[in-house]
Amino acid sequence: MSLRTKSAVTFLAAILMLVLPVLADRTVFRTAWNLFTVQQDIEMGRTLTDEADSSLSPVSDEMANTYIDALGHQLSVHAPGYKYPYQFKIVNEQTINAFALPGGSIYVTRGLVEAAPTEPQLAGVIAHEIAHVVLRHGTQQVSRAYSAQASNSTPGRVSVSAVMSDLDLYFDPNSIALKYSAEQERQADLMGAQILYDSQFDPGQMPLFFQTVQQKSGSLTTDFFNSHPTSANRVARVRREADSMGGMPRNLRGDSPDLHTVQSHLRGESTEPVNRDRTGTNAPDLPSTRMVAYSGRDFDLRYPENWRVSEDGDVVSIAPTEGMVSGDLAYGMRIATFDPQGSTLYGQTPLVGPGERSGRTTLSRATDQLLDELRRSNPNMRVVRTDDRSRRIDGQSAMAIELTNDSPAGGRESDLLVSVLRPDGLLYYFVGVAPERDFSRYKPTFDQIVASVRFNN
Ligand SMILES: [Zn+2]
């Protein structure tokens, strides 16, 4: 879609990727008694991981494995304390289960991934498992069991292999290393909430996922609730922790199409052919679930990591590399400004005060003017519908319109145009573009980008 307007303001922007730690009043965890050193957690974990890997069958779908590994690491980089060698794997089982071995091996079942309604809920259970690793709950349980044996009344330094053989400890879904106490569950909830918050997920999605699991058939979830005893106060506890960290994280991450693509892969309905352009040229990969920061002069936002930002005078484009077809945008988002008066930037009437423009306009009138302007360079553009839902960008009323147009990739494209009228009288507009057949896979990403926008002025 061509988005040239004569009267747009140039905004030059610098890309800053700063991650400032938010360390408000969060729960601080005290180190609990543990027979083992951190290195021994890793050592015991290795033995258990080898056993788990040889007794459980992994999912072979490469896309699903890549996805869970990426999502897991996006969360584990925010795990406090020792940096364990985290790995994330999907077990090919229809049961709904997730467990963490000491030292950082985290497993989720295929049934669990398929049962997750949204990515933030899936992230919730993974963050909870990461917390069990950080808090060393597995080796704590083993320590307790070992010291409870009369013959080990005053254990000093122990060897992992000796303890494992004394306790006859091996990998098993019901192993003592995977059966947590109510107190450990409480701690994993709180630290899981912190990890979610730091990864820009809503911490409340974690207890929501536990509720989702609870609604499933008991035979599918026995192991899950054996490991992670249900706690009645989970929702309230996580909400309190989120509140004390300052409520919702900035640039909240919503659902991602990646999870749903993975789910259909796992269900054996490969979506691969649908994503390929019918003319034989390759469509870009779907937008990544990992969002990164863009800091511009006038606004900040978050966009998929596998997209690129380019600035061309008055227009900022965020798109996958293959999103440009013969110099025009076929997949991605463009952001520009429009002066609703149609006057040039320097042609303001002298009768208005600073920061104010003559003939104050409304959002819908300004958006109509913009559509007229866009039609001049896009004669086949049509308005499909105006979204009546009230929508906001950075707290301000915004308007969303769905359009169709000729796609530079051939055939028709769908466009989501979201506009917001800023106090200085300029209309900012965001246009998400994808060929019609692919639009539903891109729309959640467009919504996510728009929801992350924060204006600087
Ligand atoms: Zn747990």
pLDDT tens digits along 351-391: 444 444 445 688 989 999 999 999 988 888 999 888 877 78
| pLDDT at 24 (0 to 100) | 60
Question: Burial letters for 417-442: b for 16+ Cβ neighbours within 10 Å, e otherwise?
Answer: bbbbbbeebbbbbbbbbbbebbbebb
pLDDT tens digits along 143-163: 999 888 856 555 577 899 999
Per the listing, tokens 């009288």 go with: 425
202 Cβ neighbours under 8 A, 6+ residues apart: 120, 196, 242, 248, 249, 252
Task: State percent of the chain over pLDDT 70.
Answer: 86
| pLDDT at 332 (0 to 100) | 95
Separation of 179 CA from ligand 1 center, angstroms? 8
Sheet holding 382-393, edge to edge: 307-312, 315-320, 332-338, 427-435, 412-421, 396-406, 382-393
Separation of 357 CA from ligand 1 center, angstroms? 57
Q: Residue 194: count other Cβ atoms within 10 Å of its Cβ.
A: 25
User: Average pLDDT for residues 1-24, to the nearest whole number?
Assistant: 43
- Residue 335: closest CA among 449, 207, 257: 449
> What is the band of 251 on the pLDDT scale with cuts at 50, 70, 90?
confident
For residues 228 and 185, what is the distance between their CA atoms, to the nearest angstrom? 6
Separation of 206 CA from ligand 1 center, angstroms? 11
| pLDDT at 32 (0 to 100) | 85
Question: What's the one-letter identity of residue 84?
Answer: Y
Q: By the 8 A CB rule, do 146 and 155 touch? A: yes
Separation of 116 CA from ligand 1 center, angstroms? 17
Separation of 132 CA from ligand 1 center, angstroms? 7
Separation of 127 CA from ligand 1 center, angstroms? 10
Mean pLDDT computed over every residue of the chain: 84
Separation of 275 CA from ligand 1 center, angstroms? 37
For residues 89 and 58, what is the distance between their CA atoms, to the nearest angstrom? 7
pLDDT tens digits along 221-244: 888 888 888 777 889 999 999 999
User: Average pLDDT for residues 18-32, to the nearest whole number?
Assistant: 68
Q: Does the pLDDT of residue 192 top 60, yes or no?
A: yes
Separation of 214 CA from ligand 1 center, angstroms? 14
For residues 445 and 261, what is the distance between their CA atoms, to the nearest angstrom? 14
Separation of 228 CA from ligand 1 center, angstroms? 4
357 Cβ neighbours under 8 A, 6+ residues apart: 341, 348, 424, 425
Residue ranges of domains in the chain: 38-244, 292-455
| pLDDT at 7 (0 to 100) | 42
Secondary structure (3-state) at 232: coil
Separation of 177 CA from ligand 1 center, angstroms? 12
| pLDDT at 391 (0 to 100) | 85
Burial (0-12, 13-18, 19+ Cβ within 10 Å), 317 = buried
Separation of 306 CA from ligand 1 center, angstroms? 33
Please give the C-alpha separations between residue 361 and each of 30, 141, 421, 425, in angstroms, as whole numbers: 58, 66, 9, 8
User: Average pLDDT for residues 196-225, to the nearest whole number?
Assistant: 88
For residues 4 and 158, what is the distance between their CA atoms, to the nearest angstrom? 71
Separation of 197 CA from ligand 1 center, angstroms? 18
Question: What's the one-letter identity of residue 219?
Answer: S
DSSP 76-138: HTT--SS----EEEEE--SS--EEE-TTSEEEEEHHHHHH-SSHHHHHHHHHHHHHHHHTTHH
Separation of 333 CA from ligand 1 center, angstroms? 40
Separation of 129 CA from ligand 1 center, angstroms? 6
| pLDDT at 2 (0 to 100) | 61
Separation of 95 CA from ligand 1 center, angstroms? 17
Separation of 102 CA from ligand 1 center, angstroms? 13
Q: By the 8 A CB rule, do 317 and 310 touch? A: yes
Secondary structure (3-state) at 249: coil
Separation of 190 CA from ligand 1 center, angstroms? 11
Q: Does the pLDDT of residue 138 top 80, yes or no?
A: yes
> What is the band of 432 on the pLDDT scale with cuts at 50, 70, 90?
very high
Q: Does the pLDDT of residue 122 top 80, yes or no?
A: yes
Q: Does the pLDDT of residue 109 top 70, yes or no?
A: yes
Q: Which fold has domain 292-455?
A: Protein Transport Mog1p; Chain A (3.40.1000)
Question: What's the one-letter identity of residue 431?
Answer: V
Q: Does the pLDDT of residue 25 top 90, yes or no?
A: no
Per the listing, tokens 């364990």 go with: 84
Separation of 252 CA from ligand 1 center, angstroms? 24
Least confident of 65-69, 108-112, 174-178: 174-178
| pLDDT at 342 (0 to 100) | 52
The pTM (predicted TM-score) of the whole model is 0.56
Higher pLDDT, residue 175 or 318:
318
Q: By the 8 A CB rule, do 203 and 248 touch? A: no
Q: By the 8 A CB rule, do 452 and 302 touch? A: yes
Per the listing, tokens 């147009």 go with: 405
pLDDT tens digits along 28-45: 998 888 999 999 999 999
Higher pLDDT, residue 212 or 119:
119
Q: Does the pLDDT of residue 406 top 70, yes or no?
A: yes
Chain Cα centroid distance, residue 388: 27
The structure tokens listed for 22 are 């938010």
Please give the C-alpha separations between residue 300 and each of 14, 151, 293, 451, in angstroms, as whole numbers: 10, 62, 7, 11
